[in-house]
Amino acid sequence: MRLPALMLAALVAIALLMQSFAASAREAPAGFSDLAERLLPSVVNISTTQTIKNPERAPEMPQFPPGSPFEDFFKEFLDRQMRPDSAPRRATSLGSGFVIDAAGYVVTNNHVIADADEITVTLHDDSVYTATLVGRDTKTDLALLKIDPGKKPLVAVGFGNSDVARVGDWVLAIGNPFGLGGTVTAGIVSARARDINAGPYDDFLQTDASINRGNSGGPMFNMAGEVIGINTAIFSPSGGSIGIGFAIPSSLARPVIDDLKKFGKTRRGWLGVRIQSLDQELAETMGLTESHGALVASVNDGSPAATAGIKAGDVILKFDGKEVGEMRKLPRIVAETPVNKSVPVELWRDGKRMNLNVAVGEMLDEQPEQAKAAEKPQPSPSGHVVAGTGLSVAPLTPQLRDRFGLDEETQGLVVIDVKDGPAAEKGMKPGDVITEAGHKAVRSTADLTKMIDQARATGQKFLLLRIETTQAPRYVALPLAEAKKK
């Protein structure tokens, strides 16, 4: 029986389509031996030595009754402990790294070589070299080393594009776990864009390829033999692998390593703002339908943001054409922007979108924070109780400035006490200073009460407060519960 021509053509098309799907499917490899054999020579072991001096401070002696024989015994024991008759101790640590340039450049984690007096690199063939530090970046936990291989040929590997790696892709991790030497483990990409609070630019790849102590600084390869991550951290209550490891993505590492190689330091873009997350309640108070973007809590004087006209209370939606879906993405986007480049910024202000251009500056080393004045025990004034909020506030006085360590430039209402209620749920604490309510300056208790009453009268569920804290300014969407009538 012959099939009609139309049906036959359809069957052929389906067969070709199924072949196409089969060709594009990412099947499990038959083995990793060929790939491992090719990549192992590029991975190195890194060992460091550090001199640790004897502690200068003795442990406290237990208290005994006067004249007790134990008093003399422990005194003699502690005296012996403090004698400078033993040499400083030398500590060693082990980690991993990989060659990215046949000229002798080696990438590793900064925490592997931090505070090291000597750094030694051991190649796969057991040849040993003393390394020098080219540069380090503490914010991303990356370091670049240099060895002099002479005429010895080195096997270098290149960075791949971690942005195209998908959850479920096979990866290969090579390193020096527990000092055992070159060890290969395989797994998959378990998750992307993990924030583990390791630094301001967290964007880790998560993998179940076994990573243990000593793997830090080693490469994570894709099936093409490209480095798409630098193994950096593990999550483990026991200290061993439980299948949750984290790697710095190559898209973040590559520009950092390039800067370290060229300048010996990183050159990051700088905007000059403090930002905070935008939750649904804050978004609602600002007239936004979605909690996307980064809320500007404050702007540094003389910064690129200030020059461009960005203000506290703005919500940055796009930077250089890139969506700021959540707050923590903005620092990385800005940091990766070339210094002195003029870029468009789309933001939300006063209920509407607007666009500005900003010339990106260069981030310099942060200055140490100045110590605040110590709190002095003083009688706590009762303050003005703001009905329905749990807040007790008071105008700033010299005594209150001294008590909470506030400078003369700070203006507003200081929080004296916080009871159970909406303010406590938002994390407000004594010593916070309310500077604005509903985008208007607050200088007296009457100002704050008026703004709350107006917001309640118009049916608002929240009142936007700008507060100065001991860490940094931030915005709070204060829920407006009805005040209880007496």
Active site residue 169: no
Tell the residue number behind the tokens 């339908």, with chain if given.
Answer: 289
Indicate which residue of 42, 47, 96, 141 is catalytic: 141
Q: Is 215 annotated as a binding residue?
A: yes
Cβ atoms 171, 207 nearer than 8 A: yes
Q: Is 135 annotated as a binding residue?
A: no
CA Rg value for the chain: 30
Find out whether 245 and 233 touch, Cβ atoms under 8 Å: yes
109 pairs with which residues across the strands?
A: 142
CA distance 410 to 469: 11
Question: What is the rounded CA–CA span in Å between residue 474 and residue 451?
Answer: 19
Catalytic residue among 162, 210, 216, 298: 216
Residue among 346, 352, 344 nearest 288 (CA): 352
Q: Which of 42, 104, 146, 97 is nearest to 253 (CA)?
A: 97
Active-site residue flag, 216: yes
State the Cα–Cα distance between residues 314 and 393, nearest whole angstrom.
26
How far apart are alpha carbons 53 and 77 in whole angstroms?
Answer: 20
Catalytic residue among 111, 162, 259, 291: 111
Q: Annotation-wise, does 214 bind a ligand?
A: yes
Cα 51–56–62 angle (5° rounding)? Answer: 135
> Residues forming the annotated binding site?
111, 141, 214-216
The residues assigned a catalytic role are 111, 141, 216
> Residues forming the annotated binding site for substrate?
111, 141, 214-216
